[in-house]
Amino acid sequence: MSRTLVIGDIHGGLKALLQVLQKAEIKQNDILIFLGDYVDGWSESPAVLEYLIALSEQQKCIFLRGNHDELLLDWLENRHENIKEELWFKHGGKATVDAYKTVSSETKQKHIAFLKSLRNYYLDAENRLFVHAGFTNMNGITQEFFPKLMYWDRTLWEVALCLDETMDKNSPLYPKRLKIYSEIFIGHTPISKTEIVAPLCKNSVWNLDTGAAFSGVLTIMDCVSKMYWQSDKLRELYPSEIGRN
């Protein structure tokens, strides 16, 4: 029987990705949903993209777009006017740019094609929504006027965190955004940057960003059973690097 597994923000940590896939004992008929932010942080961003491209040739993978993935695409296509490089470098971009110094033009073109193919969201047959960051339109993801918000927004998670979990969903005060989908799976906003934490669910929104960009861990979770597996701390896997710390 196949499983649907969702993977949090990787941020250049290939070693962590390999660990969680092994721990979860991935089978060829499993469906893997990646929540985005494959790059920026640790030193293996190009290698992460290479691995994901190869993995997608072996089994069904759904790749969502993260904000850092768009930043990399802009850089690879020389749209530097879209990037505040000083700010990007402080948030993991420098490790990515340094790693690409030894990457061939042919491989860069392959990565550009991959980054362009990323989805803004995925909605499955069980009405479960998978999106990197969130959305703001009260009528749902398909009505979002500003697609970039799907990989930049933080208000969905803030609303889910702040909402009284005892509030009746029929209350006129209950946020309409949280009533549309059976569950929503996001990354983007770390639950913790340093501690080992479990995926967190608030008002049907699951956050799987467990701080892999920093000193946290990478998480993979079975969407149905909610069993999850985690890597070692990224700082331990890359002891000579600083990540986004």
Angle at 6 between CA 3 and CA 11, to 5 degrees: 145
Taking the C-alpha atoms of residue 163 and residue 147, their distance in angstroms, rounded to an integer, is 25
Domains of the chain: 4-237 (3.60.21.10)
8 A C-beta contact, residue 140 and residue 180:
yes
Over the chain, what is the mean pLDDT?
A: 96
Q: Residue 84 — pLDDT band, cuts 50, 70, 90?
A: confident
> How does pLDDT run across 105-136, given as a tens digit for each residue?
999 999 999 999 999 999 999 999 999 999 99
The average pLDDT across 23-43 equals 98
C-beta pairs of 223-228 under 8 Å, 24+ apart in sequence: 223/3, 223/4, 223/5, 223/6, 223/33, 223/128, 223/183, 223/185, 224/3, 224/4, 226/199, 228/198, 228/199
Q: Is the pLDDT of residue 183 over 90?
A: yes
Q: Residue 83 — pLDDT band, cuts 50, 70, 90?
A: confident
> How does pLDDT run across 227-245, given as a tens digit for each residue?
999 999 999 999 999 999 8
